[in-house]
Amino acid sequence: MISGIEATRIDPAISPKPEARIRLVDVHLAFGPQRVLRGVNLEIFSGETLVVVGRSGEGKSVLLKVIDGILKPDKGEVWVEDQRIDTLPPRALNEFRRRIAMVFQGAALFDSMTVEENVAFPYRERRLLADKSIRERVVENLRRVHLVDPGVLRKKPAELSGGMKKRVGVARALSMEPEIILWDEPTTGLDPVTADAINDLILEVQQSTHATSVVVTHDMASVFKVGNRVAMLNQGVIVYTGTVEETRETENAMVSQFVQGRAQGPLTEGLPVG
């Protein structure tokens, strides 16, 4: 048995614990014959930043989409506080999803919209604010991601660098004023300096919003800079959870090899791609 498994096993009979903001109980999800999640048990505590690591293709993005309600598990339960979300009807789910911001792996901006329209989108969708206030908030959210040149507002995503796109993606997430932020490989594909700036940004967002965050990353600098706890996904289950300090010194071979950047066994897909 891999050490750490016991620590993450949750008795489904126990009702959601108040301290766990997000709780996955025995979550299974397959695409046809491919069983991607095979009994994920995971708790994410209020206000923490949990980093999820695992090899390429293990199902990390799928896991975030399950938490966000985009994908429904075939079996198991997904709880956010005392709300079970995997069984919510579409309307209630849409309402619920406004509390969660996903910063997608490829930024996932709307290509036909300008930066301003992209960042304004969550406000427009909620129809709570007048145009002038929306514009002010858009400018403010872009300032928070250090995009201060007014010219950027009118640009389309195709005119931005990879790092700028990620920043715009973060600004759009901030426009949701989220309680939960899911970051899918925020630094992948960026040079080390830009990647470090994005890590700083994750910390800044964390400090200013106090959101509960889940960060999927292959970037060990990111793990140690932004994380409070680490979870490892392997072969469809969470095989390890521990604090960042515990993870540095873990005797779990799979985790320590990952942390030290050495592959264990043949990699199925080569290097991770953004």
Ligand X SMILES: Nc1ncnc2c1ncn2[C@@H]1O[C@H](COP(=O)(O)OP(=O)(O)OP(=O)(O)O)[C@@H](O)[C@H]1O
Shortest distance (Å) from residue 78 CB to ligand X:
16
**Nearer of residues 217 and 241 to Mg ion, judged by Cβ:** 217
**Nearer of residues 68 and 116 to Mg ion, judged by Cβ:** 68
Binding of residue 70 to ligand X (CB under 6 A): no
119/117 Cα distance (integer angstroms): 6
Contacts to Mg ion by CB under 5 A: 60-61
Binding of residue 31 to ligand X (CB under 6 A): yes
Binding residue count for ligand X, defined by CB under 6 A: 13
Q: Which of 22, 36, 102, 190 binds ligand X (CB under 6 A)?
A: 36
Binding of residue 189 to ligand X (CB under 6 A): no
Shortest distance (Å) from residue 190 CB to Mg ion:
15
Binding of residue 59 to ligand X (CB under 6 A): yes
Shortest distance (Å) from residue 105 CB to ligand X:
6
246 CB-near residues (< 8 Å, 6+ apart)? none
Interface of this chain with ligand X, residues 91 to 120, rule: CB under 6 A: 105
Interface of this chain with ligand X, residues 145 to 184, rule: CB under 6 A: none
Strand-strand pairing, 100-103 and 180-184: parallel
110 CB-near residues (< 8 Å, 6+ apart)? 117, 118, 121, 157
In Å, what is the CA distance from 61 to each residue of 9, 55, 57, 106, 230?
A: 21, 11, 9, 11, 16
Q: Which residues pair with 51 in a beta bridge?
A: 215, 230
DSSP string, 54-82: --TTSSHHHHHHHHTTSS--SEEEEEETT
Q: Which two tokens stand for residue 202?
A: 């994750």
Partner that binds at residue 250, options ligand X, Mg ion, none, CB closer than 5 to 8 Å by kind: none
Asked whether 212 and 22 are in contact (CB, 8 A), the reply is yes
Shortest distance (Å) from residue 73 CB to ligand X:
13
Question: Which residues of this protein are in contact with ligand X, per CB under 6 A?
Answer: 31, 36, 54, 56-62, 105, 272-273
